[in-house]
A and B are shown apart, each in its own frame.
Chain A
Amino acid sequence: MIEVRQLTKRYRTTRAVDGLSFEVKPGYVAGFLGPNGAGKSTTMRAVLGLDRPTSGEALVDGRRYADIRRPMHHVGALLDAGAVHGGRSAYDHLRVLARSNGIKDRRVVATLEQVGLAGVADRRVGSLSLGMKQRLGVAAALLGDPGVLLFDEPVNGLDPEGIRWIRHLMRDLAREGRTVLVSSHLMSEMALTADRVIVIGRGKLILEASMQDLQEKFKKDVLVRSTTPDALVAVLTAAGATARSEDGALFVQGLDAPDIADLAARHRIPIHELTPRSASLEDAYLELTEESVEYRTKETGR
C-alpha cells in the first residue's frame, strides 16, 4: 500500500509536486500518468525517501520509507535504469545491492535468470544496452521479493518483446497481491497494463479512476444511421437528446444506444447502424492534461 498525502515538493522556483494525494492498494496495477515535468518522478523519489518533501508525507505500508529496515524486502523500485556504476559487472552490481539487505547470492543468480540477463551477468554494466539496463533495474527491484513495487517509465528503451514482458510481469505481480505503481506518458500503454490510473499535471492530481470509469467518462456519442433521419431526430429530441447530422449519419448525445434502439422500434423507424463512440483513451488523456502541459512543442502551420 502506498499513501501520498498532501505531498508538496518545491525546488527553488518550481513546484514539482503540489498538494498531491492518492493511494495505491494491493492487487492491481496503478498507472501513474502525466506529461513531461508533471512530477511523477519527483513523487516517486519522495516515496522512496530520496527527496525530502517540502510538506506533506508519503508512506509505504503505513511507514516512512526511511524507517523501514532492509527495505528491499518490502519495496522494490526502478527509478532510472542508467543510475548505476558502469564499471561493475551486472552480477556484482546486484550482489552489492543484495548484500546491503542481507539477500543471498543464490537469489541474485535466480533473479538474473528471471529477467533474462543470465548470459551477460559478467559483462560490465556500462557495456549493456539500454534495454538490458532496464532489465537489470527490474532485477534489482525484484531482488528482495517485495510487496510494493514502483517503476518509473519501465518500458523506456525496451523492444516490443521487452515491453510485452514488462506488461505481463506487472500484471502478474499485481495478481500475486502486490502493490504496483507504474509511471508512463502513454495512455495507450497504460490501457493495456493498468487497472486504475492516477493522472497528474503540474504536480496536481487531475484524476484518479479505474480504467473502466475513465472509458465510461469519455463516452462521447452514438452514431445512428437511418433511412428517415428527420423522423428520428424529432423523436430523439422529444426524448431529451440532441442530435447532429453529418454525412448522412446522426451523432446522438444524451441517450444510450439501447434507449435509441427502443425508441426507434416503438416509432417503427428503421435503423441501419447504431454505434456507441468513445473518445480514444489517448484523446481522453490529452484532453485531461491539456491545461497542464508545460513543455509543449510549438505547433506549426495549422
Chain B
Amino acid sequence: MTDVLNSEWLKLRSVRSTTYVLLAIAVALLGGALVSYLMTADWDTSPPDLQQKFGAADPGVMVVPFAQFCLGVLGALAITSEYGSGMIRTALVSVPRRKAYLLAKTVVVAGVSLVVALVTTLLAYQAGELITGDRPRPISAYDSFGDAVPTLLANTASLVLLGLVGLGLGFLLRSTAGALVTLCGLLFVLPTLTLLLPYPWNDRVYSVMLPVLAPQLSGELPDPPLSPVGAGLVMIAYLVLALGAGAAALLRRDA
C-alpha cells in the first residue's frame, strides 16, 4: 500500500495541472486581499452610520468558494486525466487491486487538499487581520484568533470535501469536462435554482447545498436550518455518495 501511495503522490506532483490549480488559488488569495484592502480603505472614509452597514473585509469570503472549485478540479483531474489519456490502463496493469488504487488516490487527494485548505484559510485569515488591523466589527471579521477557529476549520473541512467529491465524480464520469460541469452545477448553479422552489422547500433544499454547509458547520450563520452536527452529517453524506459512486464505477466497469 505504501508503494501505491508513493506512486500516487509522485503522480500528482509530476504534472503541471497541479501547479496551475495551486497558482489559481494563490491568485485568488491576492485578489481577496486586494478587495479586503479596498473595502477597508472605503470604510475608513465612510461616516459612522454607513460604517455599520459594511460587511466584514474577510478575504476568506471570496477565496473559499473559488478554492472549493479549484480543489474539486484537482481531485477530478487526478483521475479523469488518466481516463482521458488512457494512462488508467497502464496504471491498473501495475496496480490491479482496484480498491487499493482508489484508496491511495483518495488518501493523496485528501492529504493535499487538507494542506492546501489549511494554508489557504490561514493565509486568508492572516491577510484579513493585517488589512483591518485594530478596526472594530463589522469591518473586522473576528475579534481574536479563537473567534475565527470554528470558521477556519469548517472552511477547511469543506475544501477537503470538495477535493474528494471532485475525485469521486472523476471516477464516476471518467471525463474531465463532465466532472467540471457537474462541479460547477453543484457549486454555482444548483444553489441558485433551489431558491426558486416554493417555501419552505427552497430554504430546506438550499441548506444542504455544498456552498452553504461550511457556515452551518461552524455555526456562524444566524438562525441556520441545519445544526452544526446536521451540516457535518450532510457533508459526510456527500463524501460517501461521491466516493461510493466512484468506487462502484471503478470496481464494476471495465477499465
Contact = CB atoms under 8 A, between A and B. Distances in A.
B254 A50 contact: yes
24 contacts: A45-B255, A49-B93, A51-B255, A52-B254, A65-B96, A66-B96, A71-B93, A71-B96, A80-B86, A83-B88, A83-B89, A84-B90, A85-B81, A85-B87, A88-B15, A92-B10, A95-B14, A96-B11, A97-B90, A97-B94, A99-B3, A99-B6, A100-B6, A100-B91
Given A95-B10, A101-B94, A83 B87 contact: yes
Contact of A87 (B6, B15, B254): B15
B53 interface: no
B203 interface: no
A38 interface: no
A72 interface: yes
A48 interface: yes
Contacts of B86: 80, 82-84
A66 B135 CA distance: 62
B142 to A, nearest CB: 41
B190 to A, nearest CB: 31
Given A96-B14, A99-B3, A80 B89 contact: yes
Contacts, number: 86
Nearest to A150: B93
Contacts of B91: 97, 100
A102 interface: yes
Contacts of A85: 15, 81-82, 85, 87
B95 A86 contact: no
Interface string A65-83: 1101011100101011011
A278 interface: no
A48 B93 contact: yes
Contacts of B15: 85, 87-88
Interface in A275-293: none
Contacts of A242: none
A258 to B, nearest CB: 51
Contacts of A101: 3, 94-95
Nearest to B92: A50
A89 B14 contact: yes
Q: Name which of B87, B88, B90, B91 has the most chain A CB atoms within 10 A of its CB.
A: B90
A100 B86 CA distance: 17
A140 interface: yes
Interface string B95-108: 11110000000000
Contacts of A84: 85-87, 90
Interface residues of A, number: 33
A49 B89 contact: no
Interface in A145-204: none
A102 B2 CA distance: 9
B224 to A, nearest CB: 43
A51 B254 contact: yes
Contact of B10 (A70, A80, A96): A96
A65 to B, nearest CB: 6
A83 B90 contact: yes
> Sorted from nearest, which 7 A-B pairs have the closest CB atoms?
A83-B86, A100-B7, A99-B7, A92-B14, A66-B96, A51-B254, A99-B6
B62 interface: no
B82 A87 contact: no
Interface string B109-151: 0000000000000000000000000000000000000000000
Given A45-B254, A79-B90, A101-B95, 18 more contacts: A45-B89, A48-B93, A50-B89, A51-B254, A51-B255, A66-B96, A66-B97, A79-B89, A80-B86, A83-B86, A83-B88, A84-B86, A89-B14, A92-B14, A95-B14, A96-B7, A100-B6, A100-B91
B17 interface: yes
Contacts of B14: 88-89, 92, 95-96
A88 to B, nearest CB: 5
Interface in B38-64: none
